[in-house]
Structure 1
């Protein structure tokens, strides 16, 4: 394997790691907070709505959008690290 292939392989491996971490966070927020921990979270209210309901309806979408921006920032850093930022 030449240097260019090794660099591309390392880049892809780190990219997949970021994707796995970010999608795991989104899964935990959407499935965990919206379904599994709904009853516990419903004891807390935000704007008159129970927190479990809020996460199921809107919270997971907000978290997903935030994670998109986090992913863009991470990928910009990764591009610079591996020299793909041209």
Structure 2
């Protein structure tokens, strides 16, 4: 019975991580690239407006970083619940 409750806690925490990380990705890709583009265009990076940069490349960079963050979080979670091999 303890194994079942432990696995439920593991998946609940995993889904929480997923929701937070996907929320960050949504905010960066949709928010910074579309919704907040006008406000971000007043800032320039490398000669390009920041809103344009997020729409073209920034959200991709953030997505790649979030993949590495997720891997790190999952490794810690696996060790916490004893699922590491």
TM-score by length of 2: 0.98
Which residue in 2 is equivalent to 1:56?
Answer: 55
Q: CA deviation at 1:69?
A: 0.3
The Cα shift of 1:33 comes to 0.4
Q: What's 2:43 paired with?
A: 44
Unmatched segments (≥5 aa) in structure 1: none
- 5+ long unaligned stretches in structure 2: none
Mapped partners of 1:4, 1:44: distance in 2: 52
- Identify the residue that residue 23 of structure 1 maps to in structure 2: 22
Q: Hey, what does 2:6 align to over in structure 1? A: 7
For 1:48 and 1:28, the matched residues in 2 are separated by 24
**4+ residue runs of structure 1 moved beyond 2 angstroms?**
none
